[in-house]
Amino acid sequence: MIRGKAAVFFGPGRPLEIRELTLADVEPDAILIRVSLANVCGSDLHFWRGDAPLKLPADGWIFGHEMTGRVARLGVRVKTDSLGQPLKEGDRVAYAYFYPCGRCPACLGKEPAACLFKVGRPLGPSEFPHFHGAFAEYYYLKPGGAIFTVPDALADDLVAPVNCALSQVIFGLHKAGFRFGDTLVIQGAGGLGVQAAAVAKDLGAQTVIVVDQIPGRLELAKAFGADHTINVKEVADRRERVKLVRQWTGGVGADVACDLVGFPAVIPEGIEMLRSGGTYLEIGTISRGAKVELEPALLVWGTKKIVGVIQYDPWVIPRALDFLVRTRERWPWHRILSHKYPLEQINEAFEASEWHNRETTTITRAALTP
Ligand SMILES: [Zn+2]
Ligand SMILES: [Zn+2]
């Protein structure tokens, strides 16, 4: 019998509440993880804020997904991680928080990230296996979940963003066909944006331009490799911003631009910042129902495409870990996590992470230490 605390979400505007849960046993192919760090990700903020309608279970929802931890209990049939390396209780691990079904056209076509069934409906604390999310002492990795041991060289602070923000941007740039020598516009200098800058430079980007409205975030993007930044508060005219991007990309526009903001109003401008033939990578706007007006002829005459990506194929995680090992001196990774809170202070952590409609923020990413 395993007992542990979890934070339960009852809807926007209501405080999360800590509950004690019990789990009878771990299935033969599952793994129970003792969560060391659970970050407040931008998409958690969307749910918390109520940016989109969300149907919650009557007994609340246990959420959170960007995290790292240690193996607390291995199912009896689990002997190795997803790369075949020996896995034992106590090992530090990085793991995916979604589960491609293995039996659908996307899975059959070896595109697990496109599986429609990889994330189930929100589950409450009463439903097995109870520990559904990161904001808890334990996380239950379901049978078949992708899991990888973590190199000793990496501190937990660096590993916590791996299974969401970092893998998300690596896979997104991969799907957008980002190549050596390409130019990139990143809209949004939050956790995803700054890590995308570093990944793009490691991939051999010619120029990385980051757009945001908070000076501290733009400064951090520069520290993570951005060549140019645009503060939309300072360059208030959209045409001026597009002109700047042209100027910094040899007069043609960027090969790839990406929405890492999460508010769809930025999308038409990002598409305009592309060169003819360029690709727009849509990751940020996860809120269902959020809309934007778009002129399709701009895609047609510009031969531009839009690529939408949510989550990633699991092969990305070990590459993300390797990337951190080889760039841990190059980029200030220790600046990604700026604040830590015990699980009991989860409401303070969300309050402090809120950046929307704020002029300044001192927080990059807050983490819970359950
Ligand atoms: Zn996330
Ligand atoms: Zn599937």
Which pLDDT belongs to residue 338?
A: 86
Which pLDDT belongs to residue 203?
A: 98
Q: Where does the pLDDT of residue 355 fall: very low under 50, low under 70, confident under 90, or very high at 90 and above?
A: confident
Which pLDDT belongs to residue 22?
A: 97
Q: Which ligand is nearest to the CA of 111?
A: 2
Task: Average the pLDDT over 43-70 and give the result.
Answer: 92
Q: Which ligand is nearest to the CA of 134?
A: 1
Q: How many Å lie between the centroid of ligand 1 and the Cα of residue 260?
A: 11
User: Is the pLDDT at 357 greater than 60, yes or no?
Assistant: no
Which pLDDT belongs to residue 170?
A: 98
pTM to 2 decimals? 0.95
Question: Which residue carries 């076509």 as its tokens?
Answer: 109
Average pLDDT, the chain: 95
User: Is the pLDDT at 33 greater than 70, yes or no?
Assistant: yes
Task: Average the pLDDT over 58-64 and give the result.
Answer: 96
Q: Which ligand is nearest to the CA of 195?
A: 1
Q: Which ligand is nearest to the CA of 114?
A: 2
Q: How many Å lie between the centroid of ligand 1 and the Cα of residue 66?
A: 6
User: Is the pLDDT at 361 greater than 80, yes or no?
Assistant: no
Q: How many Å lie between the centroid of ligand 2 and the Cα of residue 114?
A: 7
Residues with CB under 5 A from ligand 2 (ion): 100-101, 104, 107, 115
Q: How many Å lie between the centroid of ligand 1 and the Cα of residue 359?
A: 23
